[in-house]
Structure 1
Amino acid sequence: MANSESARMNKAEYWDERYQSADDPPPREWHLGYDQLEGYLQEHVYPHWPADASIMHPGAGSSHLPLEMRKRGGYTNITCAEFSPAVIAQMQPLDPDIKWLQCDVRDMSASGVGSDSFDVVFDKACFEALCGWGPKHLLKEIPDVIVMDTRRYSQEAYRILKPGGWFVIITVFEARYVHHLLKCEGTNWEDVHAPKALSADGWMQTRSFCLRKPANQTTQNND
């Protein structure tokens, strides 16, 4: 992907243009689809979530993951957050029981998302979009805008999670990069379990990170 395109991936206008000009109809996947993730979810994730868990998919885009988590995972309280009205218009008719919220995941309070509202924040490639798909091998080379955007996002995920809530990140980025950006001031993330590889070795290996907001910590007074 060209650097000029990558630099625009944190902008709503970029995604609106992309979804309106896409030739293939939704849903479309970044990384692994539900079929590839189901075994991992069934073994390591679902057993820890109640059947009525409230799940937020930030930057859900045109992924079918939320649809399949509802149909095959059995979770019915699902909200997808997107700042592209074009993709919301495409996706909402596919499953009217899923709630769609137009917002910026770096400031969900502006769209009325309250603190301590969700049991799970499930991110598949939203974190990477904020990074512009441009990770550097050395932490000192991360552009300031990526540090600012990803940490604002992490703080928002922390805020909207209930005490004991889970933050699941599916990404191709390495642990040191994920932890450096997401474990930041204003958060107190606990590791639920060690990062897990979900695809074959290589530059684009997909990994899962599961973080948790401490069970004794609320953020209601931040609203």
Structure 2
Amino acid sequence: MDVTTLDDLQTREYWDSRYAQEGAQMTYDWFKSWPELESHLLPHIGDKSARVLELGCGNSTITPALYSLGFHQVTSLDFSSTVIEQMRGKHPEINWVEMDIREMIEKDGELGGAASWDVVLDKGTLDALVAEKGSVWDPSERVRENARREIDAVLHLLRPGGRFLYMTWMSRPLRMPFLERAEWKIEVLPVNDGNGLDYYLYVCTKHGEASVADAAAAGEGTP
């Protein structure tokens, strides 16, 4: 299904229609697949007891792959009821939540409440929220508000020491204005196999005591 306008990427209707047309057996990973990302993501997720929340999961293979590796406290969230039903049918062992990420603070009780997650993953979801026809250097207030609502919610949900792992093809000048906050430190890591477009992993670590992910990365957790 073609995108009529970039604004379509921010609507349930577009995604419900797309997933319905693709069918329940379809899987699709934006940017890069799990085998390409595993070595980049796992060091920042850490201990298998970590609570991991994926935002805008779609029909990605990331959380099923993590679950198969022993990360059993994973939750996948998307605002498309169609894809959540499809993925729940294929992987009932995983927790699937239908929710708009812009409403996560108001509905945090459905996600365990504030400061309850060690890792939050985003692979292209923020990109969809800030997509618009205008200049990427001068985003509209609507786009800025979309980004604010997601990042506010991520900070609300992360434990002290927890990490927001954001995968995108957009470089530092275009994404740091959305991500920079006093509450965390940010490391930008290139993800490039030399065969195509450059991608970036933004590792945003919330200030405070170490989480499960931090302890494991330091060799203090149980693998």
Aligning the two structures, in what range does the TM-score lie when normalised by the shorter sequence? 0.7 to 0.9
The corresponding residue for 1:179 is 176
2: distance between equivalents of 1:155 and 1:167?
Answer: 12
The corresponding residue for 2:220 is none
The corresponding residue for 1:34 is 34
Equivalent pair of 2:170/2:200 in contact (CA under 8 Å):
yes
- Offset at 1:82? 0.8
1:190 aligns with 2:185: yes
1:80-159 alignment, distance < 5 Å: 80-111=76-107, 112=109, 113=111, 114-132=113-131, 136=135, 139=137, 141-159=138-156
Residues 33 and 201 of structure 1, relative CA distance in 2, 3 Å threshold: closer
Q: Deviations over 1:52-78 (max 9, x none)?
A: 000000100000011001113x21101
Equivalent pair of 2:26/2:59 in contact (CA under 8 Å):
yes
| 1:196 aligned counterpart, secondary structure | strand
Residues 2 and 20 of structure 1, relative CA distance in 2, 3 Å threshold: closer
Count of aligned pairs = 207
Question: Which letter maps to 1:93?
Answer: G
- Offset at 1:17? 1.3
1: distance between equivalents of 2:144 and 2:29?
Answer: 25
Question: Which letter maps to 1:189?
Answer: W
What is the RMSD of the two structures over their aligned residues, measured on CA atoms?
2.4
The corresponding residue for 2:9 is 9
1:77 aligns with 2:73: yes
Q: Deviations over 1:171-193 (max 9, x none)?
A: 11111222101225xx62212x3
| 1:9 aligned counterpart, secondary structure | helix
Q: Deviations over 1:151-189 (max 9, x none)?
A: 1101101100111110000111111222101225xx622
Equivalent pair of 1:56/1:118 in contact (CA under 8 Å):
yes
Identity value in percent: 25
Q: Give TM-score scaled by structure 1 length.
A: 0.83
- Offset at 1:110? 3.4
2: distance between equivalents of 1:33 and 1:41?
Answer: 12
2: distance between equivalents of 1:200 and 1:22?
Answer: 31
Deviates more, 1:172-181 or 1:102-111: 102-111
Equivalent pair of 1:135/1:173 in contact (CA under 8 Å):
no
Residues 23 and 78 of structure 1, relative CA distance in 2, 3 Å threshold: closer
Q: Note the residue ranges of structure 1 that are not aligned, 5 or more in a row.
A: 218-223
Q: Note the residue ranges of structure 2 that are not aligned, 5 or more in a row.
A: 211-223
Residues 215 and 30 of structure 1, relative CA distance in 2, 3 Å threshold: same
| Larger RCO (CA under 8 A, 6+ residues apart) | 2
